[in-house]
Amino acid sequence: MSGQHNKYERRAIRRLRIRKRVSGTVARPRLSVFRSAVHIYAQLVDDERGVTLVQASSREKGLDVSGIEAKGRIRLSMAVGRLIAQRAKQAGVAQVCFDRGGYLYHGRVKALADGARAAGLDF
């Protein structure tokens, strides 16, 4: 190997480094985040059973962005965080461990986490 990686390979390396340490259980599932150029996706995963408990994305119709003091994709990310927290509470989940998916904890990823915390998820 040349020792040089493109940005996708660097993200994959960071993602695997995070996944070595972060694992979801029934009591504390993993809140996994995927960020594309336009949308953001979040899901709660129980890694022991290998199942997704709940999911939310910015592609859903009727996403409630009212009451959020932000613009554009940051606003959508906060709304997705609130939505995933509401669905987690309905599924009986109060605590999660956060998996940022190799992305920097900044911008839309941070907004999603802040939205989930504001709606009552503990991590």
The pLDDT tens digits of the residues spanning 45-101 come to: 999 999 999 999 999 998 888 888 889 999 999 999 999 999 999 999 999 999 999
- Find out whether 113 and 81 touch, Cβ atoms under 8 Å: yes
Residue 120: per-residue pLDDT: 95
| Cα gap 35→49, rounded to integer Å | 25
| Cα gap 74→16, rounded to integer Å | 26
- For the chain, give the percent of residues with pLDDT over 70: 98
Residue 67: per-residue pLDDT: 84
Residue 3: per-residue pLDDT: 78
- Find out whether 64 and 85 touch, Cβ atoms under 8 Å: no
State yes or no: pLDDT of 1 exceeds 60.
no
DSSP-derived secondary structure letter, 104: -
| Domain 7-118 fold | Nucleotidyltransferase; domain 5 (3.30.420)
- 18 burial (CB, 10 Å; 0-12 / 13-18 / 19+) is middle
- Would you list the domain boundaries of the chain? 7-118
- Find out whether 74 and 7 touch, Cβ atoms under 8 Å: no
Residue 114: per-residue pLDDT: 97
- Find out whether 102 and 14 touch, Cβ atoms under 8 Å: yes
For the chain, give the mean pLDDT: 94
What pTM was estimated for this model as a whole? 0.90
